[in-house]
Chains A and B, each alone.
Chain A
Amino acid sequence: MKQSILEICYLIGSVTFIVGLKMMGNAKTARKGNLIGAVGMTIAILGTIFLVEHAFNPLILSLIFGAIGLGTVVGWMTAKKVQMTKMPELVSMFNGMGGACAALISLIELKHHYHTLEDAARDGIQLPTQYGTLIAIFLGLIIGSISFSGSIIAYLKLNGTMNKPIRLPQYNIINLLVMIATFGFGAYLMFAGGNMIMAYGLFALALLYGILFTIPIGGADMPVVISLLNSFTGLAAAFGGFLYDNKAMLTGGILVGSAGTLLTLIMCKAMNRPLSNVIFGAFGGSNAAASNTDVKGSIKDIQVSDLAVLMNYSKKVVIVPGYGLAVAQAQHIIKELENLLEERGVEVKYAIHPVAGRMPGHMNVLLAESNVSYDKLVEMDEINPEFEQTDVVLIVGANDVVNPAAKTDPSSPIYGMPILEVDKAKNVIVNKRSMNAGYAGIDNLLFYDSKCSMFFGDAKKALTELVAEIKTL
Chain B
Amino acid sequence: MESIFNFFVVHREIIYFIILSVFVGIEVIGGVPTVLHTPLMSGANAIHGVVIVGAIYVMLHINPDDYLALILGFLAVLLGTLNVVGGFVVTDRMLEMFKKK
Tally B residues with Cβ within 8 Å of A: 83
Give 12 CB contacts A-B under 8 Å: A26-B36, A30-B39, A31-B96, A41-B49, A48-B57, A95-B48, A104-B72, A105-B51, A234-B44, A247-B17, A249-B53, A256-B48
Give A90 to B90 CA distance when docked, in angstroms: 9
Contact with B60, one of A60, A248, A262, A364 (Cβ below 8 angstroms): A60
Main secondary structure of the interface of A (DSSP, over half): helix
Q: A230-B44, A247-B17, A263-B41 are in contact. List 17 more A-B contacts (CB 8 A).
A: A18-B24, A34-B88, A38-B46, A68-B78, A94-B49, A97-B79, A100-B79, A111-B68, A132-B7, A226-B41, A237-B49, A245-B14, A254-B21, A258-B25, A259-B44, A262-B26, A362-B38
Chain A residue numbers with a CB within 8 Å of B93 are 79-80, 84
Interface residues of B in 18-71 (CB under 8 A from A): 18, 21-26, 28-62, 64, 66, 68-70
Interchain CB contact under 8 A, B53 and A94: no
Q: Which residues of A contact B69 (CB under 8 A)?
A: 108, 111-112
Most buried by A among B11, B48, B60: B48
Q: Which residues of B contact A258 (CB under 8 A)?
A: 21-26
Residue of B54, B77, B79, B90 touching A79 (CB-CB under 8 A): B90
CB contacts (< 8 Å) of B22 on chain A: these are 254, 257-258
Q: Are B97 and A37 in contact (CB under 8 A)?
A: no
Known contacts A31-B96, A256-B48, A379-B34, A104 near B41 by CB under 8 Å: no
| Any B CB within 8 A of the CB of A405 | no
Residue of B nearest to A103 (CB): B76
> Distance in Å from the Cβ of B48 to the closest Cβ of chain A?
4
Interface size of A by CB at 8 A reads 113
Most A-side CB within 10 Å, residue of B14, B39, B57, B75? B39
Give 4 closest A-B pairs by Cβ, nearest first: A71-B81, A258-B25, A368-B97, A75-B85
Interface assignment of A5: CB less than 8 Å from any CB of chain B: no
B31 touches A25 (CB 8 A): yes
Contact with B along A165-190 (1 / 0, CB 8 A): 00000000000000000000000000
A262-B62 CB under 8 A given contacts A80-B89, A252-B47, A365-B94 = no
A108 to B62, CA, bound (A): 8
Q: Report whether A360 and B97 are in contact in the complex, using a CB–CB cutoff of 8 Å.
A: no
Given contacts A238-B18, A251-B21, contact A72 B98 (CB under 8 A): no
Question: When chains A and B are docked, how far (Å) is the Cα of A238 from the Cα of B17?
Answer: 11
Q: Known interface pairs A238-B18, A253-B48. Does A70 touch B78 (Cβ–Cβ under 8 Å)?
A: yes
Which chain A residues (50-87) contact chain B, with CB distance < 8 Å?
52, 54, 57, 59-60, 63-64, 66-68, 70-72, 74-76, 78-80, 82, 84, 87
